[in-house]
Amino acid sequence: MNRLKRIYNLFYAKFFLFDDRLVLMTAGAVVGVFAGGAAVALRLSLASVLEFFAPYRQYAWAFILPGIGALCSFLFLDKVVREGAGHGVPEVIYAVSRRGGLLRFRSTFSRLVSSFLTIASGGSAGPEAPVVMSGSAIGSNIGKFLGLNDRQRMTLVGCGTAGAIASIFHAPVAGLIFSVEIILGEWKFINIIPIAIAAVAGAQISEAIIPEKELFQHHPFDIFAGDILGSIGLALFTALISVIFTRTLRRVGALAKRTPVSPWLRALIGGCAVGTIGIFMPIVLGEGYHPIMEMVSGTFPMAFWLIFLGVFLKIFVTAITLGWGGSGGIFAPCLVLGSLTGVVFYKAMMFVFPNAAVTSEGAYALLGMAGIMSGVMQAPLSSIFLIAEITGGYEAILLLLLVSSISSTLSHIIEPSSFYFKDLIERGEFMRPGTDARILSDLSLNEIIDTSYITVSENMVFREFINIIRNSNRNHYPVISDETGDYLGMVRVSSIRKYALDPAFYDMIFLNQIMDTDMVTASFDDDLHDVLEFMETFNIDHIPVVEHHRFSGMISKARILDLYRRELIMQTNIQ
């Protein structure tokens, strides 16, 4: 046993400690394979079950299928694996933003199962956010197993995301960009290589099991000058639809929380509502890849008004599915919604300008997807590369750029935060790398706090205190209650000069008579960023940390700034 341990230590020292990039690249490939495998497993199982249920969808009783699926999904998440509610991607961003990329082991499979139940039964949601959650959790847990530090673990979380996205869409570049743009929020050499390896590994796993070239194949598009104007119009339209979609998702979710029914019943009701709508408009059900394929290839048979109605129904059923207890992501609904929007816009444009020299309906479906994704996620690069890769529509790359840029900018003006970030921003927990808030949040209060302060008793006579300060170089002395040990206030050397200079006071006053009881305190739960801001605003250099009425130590501005500088150097050196 000891020999094995020595061999392992030797290998670890020679290989892993030689350069931590090797660790990350090796681990990234492993994470990519597992994340890719998870994504393929979900995709194949969804395809087979959706196919199995397809003949039954026309029956009236089929409305109950999404209800049962949502109910099972809710019960699985809440009672079996006991995960908290949420879409997946915001949790991963939170883990990276605040928790050093720590994710629970159960997250490696929980969302896969719950989203499978929701989507396979007909719920309007996408399998991509669950595979992102799963892949990220795989990365996080492999990082934990290898005993990696926070930064390395976060890179592996990014690897999991990239591997999952690359695998489910056959899109390694989109996987890499999504991971860096949305999840990690920083472009660093040390991150990009392992994530790229993970993306390739994920895509290769998918390619090996499901040998298809692109997810949505189509005939080549001919692009005309008139398409530039058309694209601008479509970008405005998709920005509007994106904002409506984002707001509806949030409002329906909030309404669900206020509805006075038990959560399982809510999931059942929501699912049945989705099922009922699905009987009349089947394209809104499930992940919706089949209608997308038809729209991109220009063979979608529905009439203009029905498609127009379909846009709003898709928004509504997705909001109901996700807000009322189902599980899944908004990636696939964005794609369906985008292609529907693109087709509606194209048909409207052709109705108004029947002789306009523009490209095909399929190209507009593709541009619509990019527009909606950019608007909802406010991540234009991810959208552009994802759409280009999954459709092979590189000939439309300029128009994709145009639509994505305008749509994300306009959406950002109307709705300043994306769907993924909004909750985190509202909770004050969205911290991107390199920002002051993030650097300060990476510092532990335990590192900053100075606990070597001398505490003094409230009933200490001033003469005794003079003897203490004579032998100490401190300027602050926390006063503690004799009875309870609670913090009562602070004696500052600068504020007792008049008593110190007059020996007549020495035996006359006690510390509880001269202590400063108004001095603002901080607690361990306070954000360092807020504490520093407070010190700046009120021009104070020291602040006592009081936890549950007990004095824990002092924080000084100089110490914060020293450690801030150290952390900044450490973070930038990694590059």
Partner 1 sequence: MNYKLLHIFRNTPFGRETFLQSLYFCKTINAHPVVYIPKTDKFLMYFANDVVQVNLDNSFLAFPDTAREHVIALFDEAGIPPRFYEPKNFTASTLPDISSQFDYMCSPRSISDLSSKIGLGLLGPKVRRMIKQATFPILIASPVFKAWQSISVFFGGSANAMNALVLGLKIAIASGFPLKIYTVLENDNEDVYRDMVRNSELEELVDQYVIEWCFYESSGFDRMLYEVPHDSLIVLGAYGHGVIKEILLGSKMEHIQSTVTNNLLVTGPNCRISLESATQA
Does residue 486 touch partner 1 according to CB under 8 A?
yes
Task: In angstroms, give the least distance from the CB of 45 to partner 1.
Answer: 25
In degrees rounded to 5, what are phi and psi of residue 284?
-85, -10
Does residue 91 touch partner 1 according to CB under 8 A?
yes
Question: Tokens 């020996």, residue?
Answer: 503
Does residue 517 touch partner 1 according to CB under 8 A?
no
CA proximity to 349, closest of 522, 231, 435: 231
b/e per residue 179-201 (b: at least 16 CB within 10 A): bbbbbbbbebebbbebbbbbbbb
Q: How many CB atoms lie within 10 A of CB 409?
A: 15
Does residue 492 touch partner 1 according to CB under 8 A?
no
Task: In angstroms, give the least distance from the CB of 154 to partner 1.
Answer: 13
Token output for 354:
């029947």
Task: In angstroms, give the least distance from the CB of 548 to partner 1.
Answer: 4
Does residue 95 touch partner 1 according to CB under 8 A?
yes
Does residue 545 touch partner 1 according to CB under 8 A?
no
Task: In angstroms, give the least distance from the CB of 427 to partner 1.
Answer: 7
Task: Annotate 511-574 with DSSP letters as a single string.
Answer: HHHH-BS----B-TTS-HHHHHHHHHHHT-SEEEEEETTEEEEEEEHHHHHHHHHHHHHHHHHT
Task: In angstroms, give the least distance from the CB of 438 to partner 1.
Answer: 15
Identify the residue among 104, 247, 422, 432 touching partner 1 (CB under 8 A): 104
Does residue 219 touch partner 1 according to CB under 8 A?
no
Residues in the chain: 575
Please tell me the distance from the alpha carbon of residue 395 to that of residue 220, in angstroms, as a whole number.
8
DSSP state of 549: T
Does residue 212 touch partner 1 according to CB under 8 A?
no
Does residue 98 touch partner 1 according to CB under 8 A?
yes
Nearest residue (CB) to partner 1, 133 versus 285: 133
Token output for 181:
């743009």
Identify the residue among 214, 429, 464, 567 touching partner 1 (CB under 8 A): 429
Check if the beta carbon of residue 466 is closer than 8 Å to that of residue 511. no
With contacts defined by CB under 8 A, name the span among 89-97, 172-180, 312-320, 567-575 that binds partner 1.
89-97
Token output for 395:
């000939």
Does residue 207 touch partner 1 according to CB under 8 A?
no
Does residue 547 touch partner 1 according to CB under 8 A?
yes
Task: In angstroms, give the least distance from the CB of 95 to partner 1.
Answer: 8
Site size toward partner 1 (CB under 8 A) is: 31
Please tell me the distance from the alpha carbon of residue 332 to that of residue 134, in angstroms, as a whole number.
17
Check if the beta carbon of residue 98 is closer than 8 Å to that of residue 423. no
Task: In angstroms, give the least distance from the CB of 142 to partner 1.
Answer: 13
Check if the beta carbon of residue 94 is closer than 8 Å to that of residue 431. no
Judged by the rule CB under 8 A, the positions of this chain that interact with partner 1 are 82-86, 91, 94-95, 98-99, 102-104, 106, 144, 147, 427, 429, 445-446, 484-486, 524-525, 547-552
